[in-house]
A and B are shown apart, each in its own frame.
Chain A
Amino acid sequence: MAAVAHHRVELRRAIRQLRDRGLYSAAKWAAEQLVGLPEETETEKLALKRPFRRKEVAGQSSSGGVISSRDDEEDDDDDILSLAKSFFDVREYRRAAHALRGVAGQKAVFLRCYATYLYGEKRKEEEIVELAGPLGRSDAVNEELVALEHELSALYTKGVLDAFGSYLYGVILHERERKVEARAALCSSVNAYPWNWSAWLELQALCTDPDILPQLNLNDHWMRDFFVASVHLDLHRNSDGLARYRALHVTFPRSDHILAQTATAHYNLREFDEAESLFEELLRTDPFRIEGLDTYSNILYVKECFAALSFLAHKAVLTDKYRPETCCIIGNYYSLKAQHEKAVLYFKRALKLNRKYLSAWTLMGHEYVELKNTPAAIDAYRRAVDINPRDYRAWYGLGQTYELLVMPYYALYYYRRATQLRPHDARMWCAMGQCYENEQLLMHDAAIRCYRRAVTNNDREGIALHKLAKLHHQLGQADQAAFYYQKNLERMEADQNEGQDIVEALLFLATHFKNQNRLEEAEHYCTRLLDYGGPAKEDAKALLREIRSVQQHAATLPSMDLEQFTPE
Chain B
Amino acid sequence: MGRDEESWIAERKRKRSIGDDAAAEAGGVLAMREMDMEKLRSVVRDCLGKHLYSSAIFFADKLATMAGNTPQDLYMQAQALYLGKEFRRALHLLRRFHLVSADLRFRYLAAKCLAEVKDWEECLVMLGEGDVDEDGNVEMAEEQGVDLSESKDVEEREIHISSAMCLLRGRAFEALENRARALCWYKAALKADPFCYEAFEHLVDNHMLTNEQESKLLTSLKFDPEDRWLSLLYSCRANKYGQGAKIDMKIAELEQELEEPQSDDESRAICSLKDNTDVMACRADLEYHRGDFQRCYESTKALLEKDPYHLRCMPLHLGAALELGRKNELFLRAHSLVQEYPTKAIAWFAVGCYYYCIRQYDHARRYFCKATAMEYSFAPAWLGFGNAYAAQDESDQAMAAYRTAARLFAGCHLPNLCIGMEYLRTNNLNLAEQFLLQAKSICPDDPLVFNELGVMAYRNKEFKIAADWFDKALNLAPKPLTDSWEPTVVNFAHTLRKLKMYAKAISEYEKALALYPRGASTYAALGFTHHLQGNSSVAIDFYHKALGLKPDDSFTAEMLSLALADECHLQNSSGSSQLF
Interface residues of A (CB under 8 A from B): 139, 141, 146-147, 176-178, 379, 382, 386, 407, 409-410, 412-413, 416, 441, 443, 445-446, 449-450, 452-453
Sampled A-B contacts (30; CB under 8 Å): A139-B518, A141-B518, A146-B294, A146-B483, A177-B513, A177-B517, A178-B514, A178-B517, A379-B551, A386-B548, A407-B561, A409-B561, A409-B564, A410-B561, A410-B564, A412-B564, A412-B568, A413-B564, A413-B567, A413-B568, A416-B571, A416-B579, A441-B568, A443-B572, A445-B572, A446-B576, A449-B576, A449-B580, A452-B580, A453-B580
Please name the residue on chain B nearest to A407 by beta carbon. Answer: B561
Please name 14 further chain A to chain B contacts, defined as beta carbons within 8 Å, in addition to the given A177-B517, A413-B540, A413-B568, sorted by A numbering: A139-B518, A146-B483, A382-B548, A386-B548, A407-B561, A409-B564, A410-B561, A412-B564, A441-B568, A446-B572, A449-B576, A450-B580, A452-B580, A453-B580
Please name the residue on chain A nearest to B513 by beta carbon. Answer: A177
Q: How far apart are the CA atoms of A382 and B560 in the complex, in Å?
A: 15
Contacts of B176 in A (CB 8 A): none
Q: How far apart are the CA atoms of A410 and B561 in the complex, in Å?
A: 7
Min Cβ gap A128→B in Å is: 14
Q: How far apart are the CA atoms of A176 and B516 in the complex, in Å?
A: 8
Inter-chain contact B568/A147, CB cutoff 8 Å:
no
Please name the residue on chain B nearest to A382 by beta carbon. Answer: B548
* Cβ < 8 Å to A, chain B residues 552-580: 561, 564-565, 567-568, 571-572, 576, 579-580
Q: How far apart are the CA atoms of A399 and B514 in the complex, in Å?
A: 31
Interface range, B side? 20 to 34
Min Cβ gap A458→B in Å is: 17
Q: How far apart are the CA atoms of A449 and B561 in the complex, in Å?
A: 24
* Cβ < 8 Å to A, chain B residues 504-521: 513-514, 517-518
Min Cβ gap B561→A in Å is: 6
Q: How far apart are the CA atoms of A452 and B576 in the complex, in Å?
A: 13
Contacts of A407 in B (CB 8 A): 561
Contacts of B514 in A (CB 8 A): 176-178
Min Cβ gap A205→B in Å is: 16
Contacts of A446 in B (CB 8 A): 572, 576
Contacts of B568 in A (CB 8 A): 409, 412-413, 441, 443
Q: How far apart are the CA atoms of A407 and B568 in the complex, in Å?
A: 13
Contacts of B565 in A (CB 8 A): 409
Please name the residue on chain B nearest to A402 by beta carbon. Answer: B564
Contacts of B540 in A (CB 8 A): 413
Min Cβ gap A487→B in Å is: 19
Contacts of B571 in A (CB 8 A): 416
Q: How far apart are the CA atoms of A379 and B549 in the complex, in Å?
A: 12
Contacts of A178 in B (CB 8 A): 514, 517
Inter-chain contact B517/A176, CB cutoff 8 Å:
yes
Q: How far apart are the CA atoms of A74 and B571 in the complex, in Å?
A: 59
Q: How far apart are the CA atoms of A445 and B573 in the complex, in Å?
A: 11
Min Cβ gap A209→B in Å is: 12
Q: How far apart are the CA atoms of A450 and B561 in the complex, in Å?
A: 22
Please name the residue on chain A nearest to B569 by beta carbon. Answer: A443
Min Cβ gap B438→A in Å is: 35
Please name the residue on chain A nearest to B545 by beta carbon. Answer: A386
Contacts of A410 in B (CB 8 A): 561, 564
Contacts of A176 in B (CB 8 A): 514, 517
Q: How far apart are the CA atoms of A176 and B486 in the complex, in Å?
A: 14
Please name the residue on chain A nearest to B551 by beta carbon. Answer: A379
Q: How far apart are the CA atoms of A443 and B565 in the complex, in Å?
A: 12
Q: How far apart are the CA atoms of A441 and B564 in the complex, in Å?
A: 12
Q: How far apart are the CA atoms of A446 and B570 in the complex, in Å?
A: 12
Please name the residue on chain B nearest to A383 by beta carbon. Answer: B548
Q: How far apart are the CA atoms of A443 and B517 in the complex, in Å?
A: 39
Q: How far apart are the CA atoms of A412 and B573 in the complex, in Å?
A: 15
**4 closest residue pairs by CB, A with B:** A177-B517, A409-B564, A449-B580, A409-B565
Please name the residue on chain A nearest to B523 by beta carbon. Answer: A177
Min Cβ gap B353→A in Å is: 20
Min Cβ gap B113→A in Å is: 55
Contacts of B579 in A (CB 8 A): 416
Min Cβ gap A556→B in Å is: 51
Contacts of B564 in A (CB 8 A): 409-410, 412-413
Please name the residue on chain A nearest to B517 by beta carbon. Answer: A177
Please name the residue on chain A nearest to B550 by beta carbon. Answer: A139
Please name the residue on chain A nearest to B560 by beta carbon. Answer: A410
Please name the residue on chain A nearest to B482 by beta carbon. Answer: A146
Q: How far apart are the CA atoms of A410 and B566 in the complex, in Å?
A: 11
Q: How far apart are the CA atoms of A409 and B564 in the complex, in Å?
A: 6
Please name the residue on chain B nearest to A429 by beta carbon. Answer: B580
Q: How far apart are the CA atoms of A327 and B513 in the complex, in Å?
A: 36
Please name the residue on chain B nearest to A137 by beta carbon. Answer: B551
Min Cβ gap B139→A in Å is: 56
Q: How far apart are the CA atoms of A412 and B569 in the complex, in Å?
A: 11
Contacts of A412 in B (CB 8 A): 564, 568
Q: How far apart are the CA atoms of A499 and B483 in the complex, in Å?
A: 64
Contacts of B561 in A (CB 8 A): 407, 409-410
Q: How far apart are the CA atoms of A177 and B513 in the complex, in Å?
A: 8
Q: How far apart are the CA atoms of A453 and B551 in the complex, in Å?
A: 35
Please name the residue on chain A nearest to B561 by beta carbon. Answer: A409
Q: How far apart are the CA atoms of A55 and B551 in the complex, in Å?
A: 60
Q: How far apart are the CA atoms of A34 and B564 in the complex, in Å?
A: 50
Q: How far apart are the CA atoms of A412 and B561 in the complex, in Å?
A: 11
Please name the residue on chain B nearest to A446 by beta carbon. Answer: B572
Q: How far apart are the CA atoms of A156 and B482 in the complex, in Å?
A: 19
Contacts of A413 in B (CB 8 A): 540, 564, 567-568
Q: How far apart are the CA atoms of A446 and B580 in the complex, in Å?
A: 9
Contacts of B548 in A (CB 8 A): 382, 386
Please name the residue on chain B nearest to A445 by beta carbon. Answer: B572
Min Cβ gap B322→A in Å is: 16
* Cβ < 8 Å to A, chain B residues 458-493: 483
Q: How far apart are the CA atoms of A445 and B580 in the complex, in Å?
A: 11
Please name the residue on chain B nearest to A145 by beta carbon. Answer: B517
Q: How far apart are the CA atoms of A412 and B560 in the complex, in Å?
A: 13
Min Cβ gap A12→B in Å is: 40
Question: Counting chain B CB atoms within 10 Å of each CB, which of A139, A177, A382, A450 scores highest?
Answer: A177
Contacts of B483 in A (CB 8 A): 146
Contacts of A147 in B (CB 8 A): 294
Q: How far apart are the CA atoms of A247 and B572 in the complex, in Å?
A: 42
Please name the residue on chain A nearest to B577 by beta carbon. Answer: A449
Min Cβ gap B71→A in Å is: 62
Q: How far apart are the CA atoms of A446 and B572 in the complex, in Å?
A: 7
Q: How far apart are the CA atoms of A443 and B576 in the complex, in Å?
A: 12
Q: How far apart are the CA atoms of A355 and B568 in the complex, in Å?
A: 33
Contacts of B567 in A (CB 8 A): 413
Contacts of A452 in B (CB 8 A): 580
Contacts of A443 in B (CB 8 A): 568, 572
Please name the residue on chain A nearest to B536 by beta carbon. Answer: A413
Contacts of A409 in B (CB 8 A): 561, 564-565, 568
Min Cβ gap A150→B in Å is: 8
Contacts of B551 in A (CB 8 A): 379
Min Cβ gap B546→A in Å is: 12
Min Cβ gap A239→B in Å is: 23
Min Cβ gap B264→A in Å is: 37
Please name the residue on chain B nearest to A408 by beta carbon. Answer: B568
Q: How far apart are the CA atoms of A449 and B571 in the complex, in Å?
A: 12
Please name the residue on chain A nearest to B580 by beta carbon. Answer: A449
Q: How far apart are the CA atoms of A108 and B548 in the complex, in Å?
A: 38
Contacts of B544 in A (CB 8 A): 382
Q: How far apart are the CA atoms of A141 and B514 in the complex, in Å?
A: 15
Contacts of A416 in B (CB 8 A): 571, 579
Contacts of B580 in A (CB 8 A): 449-450, 452-453
Min Cβ gap A130→B in Å is: 16
Contacts of B576 in A (CB 8 A): 446, 449
Contacts of A379 in B (CB 8 A): 551
Q: How far apart are the CA atoms of A386 and B523 in the complex, in Å?
A: 14
Min Cβ gap A382→B in Å is: 6
Q: How far apart are the CA atoms of A450 and B579 in the complex, in Å?
A: 10
Please name the residue on chain B nearest to A175 by beta carbon. Answer: B517
Contacts of A382 in B (CB 8 A): 544, 548
Contacts of B513 in A (CB 8 A): 177
